[in-house]
Amino acid sequence: MKIKIVGFVLVIGLLVNPMLWAAQQQVTLKVEGMTCGMCPLTVKSSLKAVKCVSKAEISLAEQTAKVRFDDAQCQVEELIEATTRAGYPSRLKETS
């Protein structure tokens, strides 16, 4: 009986908490205009302000932003808009 109750509670928990089954995606953005140590902090802050972003790693040397986000809540265009509004235009980096 206890096993059935625990199983039921786990199933309900999975159904109720959408974060457990959210579709996490990672993209790399090419970010223009970063020239100093404060620039990556500004870019990271702008990306983290987007509700769907769970992680943002910014590289000043590579001029990139690796962003993990829930694609059920937003699209890549919203990430690009966020960096652009912060003064750092970006685009989806092409993979080779």
Domain contains 1: no
Range of the domain at 51: 22-92
CATH code of the domain containing 71: 3.30.70.100
Domain contains 42: yes
Domain contains 86: yes
70-90 pLDDT tens trace: 999 999 999 999 999 999 999
Name the residue among 14, 62, 13 with its Cα closest to residue 40. Answer: 62
Name the residue among 43, 53, 41 with its Cα closest to residue 89. Answer: 43
53-66 pLDDT tens trace: 999 999 999 999 99
The total number of structural domains that make up the chain:
1
Domain contains 84: yes
Domain contains 88: yes
Indicate if the pLDDT at residue 7 is higher than 60: no
Q: What is the average per-residue pLDDT within 10-31? A: 72
φ, ψ for residue 35, nearest 5 deg: -125, -15
Domain contains 80: yes
